[in-house]
Amino acid sequence: MIYGLIRVFLAFCAAFVVYLIYFLIIRPYLWRRKYQAYSNVLVGKKFSPIIGDLSNEMQCINDNKVHYSYYKELAQETKKYDLKAKLEGPESCISIISSKALKEFLNLQKTCVDRYYMRKGLAEMVIDSIASRKSTPDIQQRRKNVTQYLGLNSASKYIPHMIGCCEKIVQSMIEEKDSDIMHYMNELTFNVFTEVLFGSGVEKLVTQLYPYQNADGTTEDITLREILIRVSKCYIDQYYNPLTFIAPFLSISPFSSFISPDSSYYKLVNPYRRDHNNLQVFKRAIKNIVQTSSDTNSVGRKFFDLPELTERQKIDDLVGIMIAGSETTSHTLVSCLYFMSRHPETLQKLREELNREGLSKGEAFVENCTLETLQNCTYLSCIVKETLRLDSAVADTFDYEPSRDITICGVPISKGQRIKIDLLTNHFDSDKWLDPEAFIPDRHDTESEFFKESKEAGKVADVYARRSFSHGNRNCPGQSFALLEARIVIAYLATHIDYEFDLEVENEQGVGFGLATQFLPRIRAKMHGQN
């Protein structure tokens, strides 16, 4: 009997080893070889089992510095191709690079390309949200709700609230003198969102402390904002954790594709179990905030009152928006401040424009900051656009998949293959942008000298050369909100503070503040115009 059991156990171990060899080495190797045959597909120079082509990303994260800089470095080489065949760990992914490939991809979206049901990284945090689901009519309706509640016209009523959030942050930054700017921008975008989503009177609730389990087993009481930042970072780390790819059954149920995702939470070991528990603390608190908020007109309440959605869908849509909207915007703000600090002439020019439009320090700012005034501030828009071009918060989109075998630019792509849109390479394409690595906001102003110079040099950026918010029927529905918020915050900070970044950071080449960056620069801020 005992020998029988040992034999079964050994047979199981042998089968697992064979599975690992096939899954980690043979399958990725064969996939890579398939695409090496196509001259318009970029395939990594060397085959690295297990980590695949993630080595660049991992190196950047481990070096605790420059993020996405490898996209810039490789852009001139990458842009020669239509597609990139990339191994993310042992998992394969096709990246859409050229404008031609993107056009074909968007065309296929109309018939047979849709979201891939992603169970890793940030998507795993909100598996019942819009972002992880196929484009069924109800998902399209849920996307419309986001644009309707947070689109430009609806969002403009939050301008006074956004300014109020800026006032508080500036006060704290000046009091602290030497401050962690990422932390402050996170706090700012989080505060903006909480009031927009949960209405007035939630401040007490969002400053309340909640238990958070640390990796060392201790429990700490922290705010919801801090939980969201930490949990998001943990889920990004899960994405790069080899266990997530090698043994997915440790983190999600093997039956999740067959049964309702509602029953698929299946966290066997840490960090998956711990991260999941912390996330549930956050979600329960969000539900409680919406249900107990006295403001029945809040966006959160509107989401909650939609009768056709399950409670999980409602919560995941809300939390999804908080993740998609607050971290991306805060990282963009840090980037923008950083570029203006490196190029003081741009900050000076911006201040002159704001001054002309009556946006100066104090009450004048509050009085004059309207949608119309902001729309007159061309240079302000250019600064935000140029920041998004040079340092997009995300390097590629969520995943897509075809429902049948397809070809893009003559390259066959099998049914179910993960596909993403590369969002950065085109931003550094020297055929489309003059001096692409430089921070030149004027390039986005069709009236500017630099724009004319670019045109004369034959560099004209087509619509697909700007990709920060992606394209197609699953692009970012929060674009207007993000751009409005970024313009208000940058205008407010430019008129209210003088600031300096750490010299060490200022002198670093290729600095970036994309989502998984480990860069936490400090700035010294004082009231604008004071000694």
Residues at the annotated binding site? 476
| List 86, 119, 143, 225, residue binding ligand HEM (CB under 6 A) | 143
Q: Is 332 in the site for ligand HEM (CB under 6 A)?
A: yes
Q: Is 328 in the site for ligand HEM (CB under 6 A)?
A: yes
Residue 332 Cβ vs ligand HEM, minimum distance, rounded to whole Å: 4
Q: Is 482 in the site for ligand HEM (CB under 6 A)?
A: yes
Q: Is 395 in the site for ligand HEM (CB under 6 A)?
A: no
User: What residues are designated binding site for heme?
Assistant: 476
Counting residues that bind ligand HEM (by CB under 6 A) gives 29
Contact by Cβ (8 Å): 75, 84: no
Our CA dihedral for 248, 254, 257, 262, rounded to 10 degrees, sits at -100
Nearest residue (CB) to ligand HEM, 303 versus 481: 481
What x-and-dash track marks residues 144-183 binding ligand HEM by CB under 6 A? --x---x---------------------------------
Q: Beta strands 209-213 and 178-180: pairing type?
A: unpaired
Residue 97 Cβ vs ligand HEM, minimum distance, rounded to whole Å: 15
| List 324, 411, 484, 494, residue binding ligand HEM (CB under 6 A) | 324
What's the rounded Cα separation, in Å, for the pair 354 and 357? 5
Strand partners, 147: none
| List 228, 394, 489, 523, residue binding ligand HEM (CB under 6 A) | 394
Using CB under 6 A as the binding rule, the residues of this chain from 400 to 429 that contact ligand HEM are: 421, 423
Give me the phi and psi of 292, to 5 degrees please: -100, -5
What's the rounded Cα separation, in Å, for the pair 440 and 436? 9
Contact by Cβ (8 Å): 454, 433: yes
Contact by Cβ (8 Å): 464, 470: no
Q: Is 212 in the site for ligand HEM (CB under 6 A)?
A: no
Residue 327 Cβ vs ligand HEM, minimum distance, rounded to whole Å: 9
Q: Is 478 in the site for ligand HEM (CB under 6 A)?
A: yes
* Tokens linked to 343: 């190029």
Own/partner pairs, 308-314, CB within 8 angstroms, 24+ separation: 308/138, 309/142, 310/128, 310/262, 311/287, 312/128, 312/262, 313/128, 313/129, 313/142
Nearest residue (CB) to ligand HEM, 43 versus 488: 488
Residue 139 Cβ vs ligand HEM, minimum distance, rounded to whole Å: 7
Q: Is 481 in the site for ligand HEM (CB under 6 A)?
A: yes
Among the listed ranges 74-82, 297-305, 474-482, 512-520, the one in contact with ligand HEM (CB under 6 A) is 474-482
| List 176, 295, 475, 528, residue binding ligand HEM (CB under 6 A) | 475
Burial class of residue 161, CB neighbours in 10 A (0-12, 13-18, 19+): middle
DSSP state of 494: H
Using CB under 6 A as the binding rule, the residues of this chain from 67 to 96 that contact ligand HEM are: none
Q: Is 477 in the site for ligand HEM (CB under 6 A)?
A: yes
Preceding amide of 271 cis, omega within 30? yes
Nearest residue (CB) to ligand HEM, 287 versus 487: 487
| List 232, 293, 468, 495, residue binding ligand HEM (CB under 6 A) | 468
What's the rounded Cα separation, in Å, for the pair 466 and 390? 10
Q: Is the dihedral of CA 469, 470, 471, 474 positive or negative?
A: negative
Residue 200: count of CB within 10 angstroms of its CB: 12
Q: Is 197 in the site for ligand HEM (CB under 6 A)?
A: no
Half-sphere exposure of 372 (CA within 13 A, CB side): 3
Q: Is 513 in the site for ligand HEM (CB under 6 A)?
A: no
What's the rounded Cα separation, in Å, for the pair 490 and 170? 12
* Tokens linked to 54: 């993630």
Q: Which residue is nearest to ligand HEM (CB)?
A: 478
Among the listed ranges 24-32, 53-61, 269-277, 320-328, the one in contact with ligand HEM (CB under 6 A) is 320-328
Contact by Cβ (8 Å): 354, 377: yes
Nearest residue (CB) to ligand HEM, 300 versus 325: 325
Among the listed ranges 334-342, 345-353, 393-401, 502-510, the one in contact with ligand HEM (CB under 6 A) is 393-401
Q: Of 124, 120, 63, which Cα lies nearest the Cα of 89?
A: 120
Q: Is 517 in the site for ligand HEM (CB under 6 A)?
A: no
Residue 19 Cβ vs ligand HEM, minimum distance, rounded to whole Å: 31
Give the binding site for ligand HEM (CB under 6 A).
130-131, 143, 146, 150, 320-321, 324-325, 328-329, 332, 392-394, 397-398, 421, 423, 468-470, 474-478, 481-482
